[in-house]
Amino acid sequence: MTLDKLAELAVALEFDLAAFVVLCVSMQRGISPGAVIESTTTLIDGFSAAGGLELMRKALSDGEIVKRPRGKPRNDLVIAEIQRLKAEGKTQSEAGRVLGIPRSTVQKHWQS
């Protein structure tokens, strides 16, 4: 069942969508709604602490997913680490070894 269908059903039942999803997951997994909420809270806290919410905000514009160019997504954390190591006076080879990435990747982002 899609989220849109769950939302339609929640509206028809005059029920909050988030609460309805918690109850559905609870029934599907055979655990209490409280356990679903606790688990979900832990996952959301971890996702948020890792910068996930900020990435989601960047990926959405007016409720629509922002199109990105084809190819591998840019890893801003790796680029920042490359710049930090560069500022510390490391060579490109040293930065690659420290980060465990190819020197060609370091070279690509060295001048950023």
Q: pLDDT tens digit string along 74-97?
A: 788 899 999 999 999 999 999 999
Report the share of the chain in percent with pLDDT over 90: 65
Instruction: Give me the domain span that covers residue 32.
Output: 3-65
Residues 59 and 100 in one domain: no
Residues 80 and 61 in one domain: no
**The pLDDT of residue 61:** 79
Q: Which tokens hold the place of 8? A: 């339609």
Residue 82: CB atoms within 10 Å: 25
Residue with the two structure tokens 């809270």: 41
52 pLDDT exceeds 80?
yes
In a domain, 26, yes or no: yes
**20 located within any domain:** yes
Tokens of 48: 């948020």
* Same-domain pairing of 10 and 33: yes
Are residues 53 and 84 located together in one domain of the fold? no
Mean pLDDT of the chain: 90
Tell whether 95 and 48 lie within a shared domain: no
Q: Any residues with CB less than 8 A from the CB of 98 and at least 6 apart, and which? A: 85, 90
What is the total count of domains within the chain? 2
95 shares its domain with 60:
no
Q: How far apart (Å, rounded) are the C-alpha atoms in residues 75 and 99?
A: 13
